């Protein structure tokens, strides 16, 4: 694999995570349990779209085939997407959404902190800027995990069910393959092992304080997104996201 191919693949992974999670959060628009949280989730979604735009634009340039951010977002099929399985999981109730958000926010926080030292200037600038917003996301989601986990009997039960469902998708965030190796050696990518250590510490601490228990998945952890193998949910997400430009590909705004 060439350096260029590795970088493109790495950028697509970053961009697709932001894009798909943003799309999921957008589904909450107008359906939030409280006005303030409806606005919060959609604001986070907007920050994530901004991230996706910057990274996918860069990815298109790196690839060098003339694909724009829009081409990459709207005209790729499921198998070409590289987002982690966690972000395509259903919104379910607000508790599940905010727990999924928290697990992802902590991951992005340490990932972008590390990428802020990347030798790739564009990636470094992107990480420095996005980290500021991600810091706010993380504070918001952590506060809600605590509030709901250590809340009423019902909120606690819903949070525990959500954690039982989502935990199997967490290992995948820290997978390492040839793409990572090539870029880590060049000082461009972050080291998943280091991020994992920080993530574990943070997450254990908050979950404990929220009186939530990490489920025993009996050694099983979901995987596959690196090869474009996704859960059945991604197809539906893409259908909704891509229908307009695919129906009228020549349309101009």
Partner 1 sequence: MISLKYDIPFIHSLLKEVKDPEIPVLNIADLGVLRDISEENGELVITITPTYTGCPAMDTIEADIKSVLNTHNIEAKIITSITPAWTTDWMSEEGKRKLENYGIAPPAEKTSDKSFLSGNSKPVRCPLCKSEDSVLLSQFGSTACKALYKCRNCQETFDYFKCI
Nearer to partner 1, 11 or 182 (CB): 11
**By CB under 8 A, how many residues form the interface with partner 1?**
27
Tell me the C-alpha distance between 137 and 232, whole Å: 27
One symbol per residue from 90 to 129: x for binding partner 1 (CB under 8 A), - otherwise; what is it? -------------------------------x--xxx-xx
Total length of the chain: 253
The CA distance from 184 to 94, in Å, is 37
What is 78-116 written as a DSSP string?
A: GGG----GGGGS---SHHHHHHHHHHHHHHHHHHHHHHT
State the nearest-atom distance from the C-beta of 29 to partner 1, in Å. 13
Query: The tokens 């706010």 sit on which residue?
Result: 136
Residue 60 to residues 11, 76, 112, 119, Cα–Cα distance (Å) = 9, 12, 20, 19
Binding segment toward partner 1, per CB under 8 A, in 70-78, 80-88, 102-110, 131-139:
131-139
Indicate whether 32 belongs to the interface with partner 1 (CB under 8 A): no
Structure tokens at 60: 């298109």
Rounded least distance, CB 28 to partner 1, Å: 12
Q: Can residue 31 be called a binding residue for partner 1 (CB under 8 A)? A: no
Distance CA 175, CA 223 (A): 9
CA distance linking residue 251 with residue 75, whole number of Å? 14
Between CA 114 and CA 187, with CA 221 as vertex, the angle to 5 degrees is: 20
Is 135 a residue that touches partner 1 (CB under 8 A)?
yes
The Cα diameter of the chain in Å comes to 54
> Binder to partner 1 among 17, 23, 51, 89 (CB under 8 A)?
51
Residue 7 or 123: the one with the smaller Cβ distance to partner 1 is 123
Site for partner 1 contains 49 (CB under 8 A): yes
Stretch that binds partner 1, among 43-51, 60-68, 98-106, 180-188 (CB under 8 A): 43-51
Question: How many Å apart are CA 58 and CA 35, to the nearest integer?
Answer: 35
CB of 143 to partner 1, least distance (A): 8
Minimum distance of partner 1 from residue 67's CB (angstroms):
20
Min dist CB 7 to partner 1, Å, is 18
Residues in contact with partner 1 by the rule CB under 8 A = 36-37, 39-40, 43-44, 46-51, 53-54, 121, 124-126, 128-130, 132-133, 135-136, 139-140
């Amino acid at each position: 694999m060439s350096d260029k191919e590795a970088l493109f693949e790495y950028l697509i992974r970053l961009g697709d995570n932001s894009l798909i999670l943003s799309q999921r959060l957008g589904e909450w628009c107008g359906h939030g349990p409280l006005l303030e949280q409806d606005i919060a989730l959609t604001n986070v979604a907007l920050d994530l779209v901004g991230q996706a735009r910057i990274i996918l634009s860069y990815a298109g340039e790196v690839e060098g085939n003339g694909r724009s951010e829009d081409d990459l977002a709207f005209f790729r099929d499921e198998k070409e997407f590289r987002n982690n399985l966690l972000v395509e999981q259903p919104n379910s109730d607000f508790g599940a959404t905010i727990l999924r958000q928290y697990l992802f926010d902590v991951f992005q926080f340490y990932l972008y902190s590390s990428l802020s030292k990347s030798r790739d200037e564009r990636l470094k600038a992107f990480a420095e800027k996005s980290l500021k917003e991600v810091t706010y996301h993380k504070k918001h989601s952590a506060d809600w995990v605590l509030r709901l986990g250590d809340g009423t009997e019902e909120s606690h039960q819903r949070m525990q069910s959500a954690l039982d469902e989502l935990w199997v998708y967490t290992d995948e965030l820290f997978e390492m393959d040839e793409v990572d190796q090539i870029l880590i050696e060049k000082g461009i990518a972050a080291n998943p092992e280091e991020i994992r250590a920080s993530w574990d510490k943070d997450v254990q601490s908050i979950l404990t304080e929220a009186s939530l228990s990490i489920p025993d998945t009996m050694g099983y952890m979901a995987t596959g997104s690196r090869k474009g193998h996704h859960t059945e949910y991604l197809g539906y997400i893409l259908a909704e996201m891509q229908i307009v430009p695919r129906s009228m590909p020549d349309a101009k705004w």
